[in-house]
Amino acid sequence: MVRRLAAAGIGLALILTTLLATTGPAQAAPQTRAATSPIKNLPLNAPVDMQLGGAYAPLRTVKVVDRDSSEPAVKGVYSICYINAFQTQDYQKDFWTKTRARRALLLKDSSGRPREDPNWPGEFILDTSTKAKRAAIAKIEYAWIDACAAKGFQAVDPDNLDTWTRFPQQLKRADNLALAKLLARRAHAKGLAIAQKNAAELSRATRLAVGFDFAVVESCEVYDECGLYDRAYGNRWFEIEYTDNGPDNFEQACAARGGRISVVLRDPTIVPRGTEGYSYSEC
C-alpha cells in the first residue's frame, strides 16, 4: 500500500469530488488522445519522482513522475496517473455513502458498518466479491481512467490491489484480479499502460493474464520482495524506499539494482519539494 498524505488539502479534495461525480465513460472529460493511440510502456531505467503528496515541478533529471489523478500530467515526462482503485480516499466519504447503490459497493462488517483499512483510518474497502459489484466499481473508475487519458498521462497506477490479504474472510485474490483485468482493458483501450501496485507474489503468468505492463514497487528491500518483481517484470519496474526505514535499504537496493532500474528514496509522506520533511534521492 502506498505511503501518501491522508489528504492533500481542501483544493485537492474539491477537485477529486468533482471527478468522482462522473460515474461513466459518457460523462468523462473530452479526450485529447485518440483511443487507438499506441501504448507507451514505462521507460527502462529512467529516473522517477513520486509526487503523491502534492505536485511540483520535477528536477530536470527526472524522466518519470507518478502523481495523483487530480493533477495535470507533466509535459515531456512519462506521467503516471494514481488512483486508489480497491479502496477509497478518506475525503471521498460523502461520495461513497451518498446513495444506496454506492454504499452497496463498500465491504461491511458483521454489524453492517463499512470496513476501513487498519493502517489508513477513513479509507473504506471496496467489495469486489461479486461480478455485479465489480462491474459497478469499474464503471466509476473507468471515468477516472478516461480523465487520466484526457489529461495526457501515459499510464495509470491503481493502488491497493492486495486488499484481500487484509480481509481474507470476505475478499478473494481472484475477485480483485478480475477487477484489475477490467481496469487494464479500459486503460489499454484509452492508450494507457497500467501498473501493478502491491501483491508481490503474483507470478509472471498472472501478470500477463491481468494485463499489467510494469510495476510500481514500495519497500521491497525491506520485505525481501524485489526478486519477485525481477522475475515478473525484468527491468520494467521502479522501486521506492522510504527514509523512515533508514538509509541501509536504499543503499543496498542501489548496489543491487540501481544500474538497471530507478531506485528512489523518499520521505514517508511524500511531501512536495520545498515542504518541511521533503527528502529525495535516486540512483
pLDDT of residue 89: 87
Under DSSP, the state recorded for 246 is: -
Q: Are 47 and 282 in contact (CB under 8 A)?
A: yes
Q: Which pLDDT band holds residue 1 (cuts at 50, 70, 90)? A: low
pLDDT of residue 15: 40
pLDDT of residue 120: 87
Per-residue pLDDT of 22-35, as tens digits, reads 444 333 333 344 45
- Residue 52: closest CA among 14, 89, 92: 89
Contacts for 221-229: CB closer than 8 Å, 24+ residues apart = 221/249, 221/250, 221/252, 221/253, 222/249, 225/200, 226/253, 226/256, 226/257, 228/200, 228/201, 229/200
Strand pairing partners for 282? 264
State if pTM tops 0.85.
Answer: yes
Per-residue pLDDT of 151-193, as tens digits, reads 999 999 999 999 999 999 999 999 999 999 999 999 999 999 9
Which residue did the predictor score with more confidence, 200 or 17?
200
pLDDT of residue 23: 43
Per-residue pLDDT of 55-74, as tens digits, reads 999 999 999 999 999 999 99
Mean per-residue pLDDT, 13-23:
42
Q: Is 50 a residue whose pLDDT tops 80?
A: yes
Q: Which pLDDT band holds residue 257 (cuts at 50, 70, 90)? A: very high
Which residue did the predictor score with more confidence, 22 or 262?
262
CB atoms within 10 A of CB 97: 14
CB atoms within 10 A of CB 94: 9
Percentage of the chain beyond pLDDT 90 is 82
CATH topology of domain 48-86+132-282: TIM Barrel (3.20.20)
Domain ranges in the chain are 48-86+132-282, 90-125
Mean per-residue pLDDT, 211-218:
98
Mean per-residue pLDDT, 244-255:
95
Q: Which pLDDT band holds residue 38 (cuts at 50, 70, 90)? A: confident
